[in-house]
Amino acid sequence: MKTTFLLAAFALAGFGATGASFATVKTMQGPPDSVMLTPSSLPGYAIAQGHCTGCHSAEYMAYQPPNAGRAYWDATVHKMKNVFNAPVDDADIPALVDYLSHTYGNKQGK
């Protein structure tokens, strides 16, 4: 019993010394998206739905330069994966880049 009390007191003192406190979990809900991904039969469309719009609105894609080529979209997807830790498998990147460049880039309609 004495050991339990000492451990509890030590734990509480540790929290006080570090400035840590018990906090409530807060959630955030943004406004509903007004722009949706452009539907496509390309496999990258499903990948974009499953990964990209989990972190940001489809407006991000829609507001990129319309003359952006495949290299631009490839660099953007790699930046999202490597810098912002987007959960995109390396094997899915070519299909995702195809979708983005054909739907939002300079290959639109091709």
Q: How far apart are the first and last CA of the chain?
A: 75
**pLDDT in the model for residue 106:** 84
Domains along the sequence of the chain with CATH: 33-103 (1.10.760.10)
Number of H helices, E strands in the chain: 5, 0
Half-sphere exposure of 3 (CA within 13 A, CB side): 0
Return the closest-CA partner of residue 68 out of 34, 104, 93, 105. 105
Return the closest-CA partner of residue 81 out of 52, 58, 45, 60. 52
Residue 88 gets which letter from DSSP? -
pLDDT in tens, 12-51: 555 555 555 567 887 766 666 667 899 999 999 999 998 8
pTM of the model: 0.67
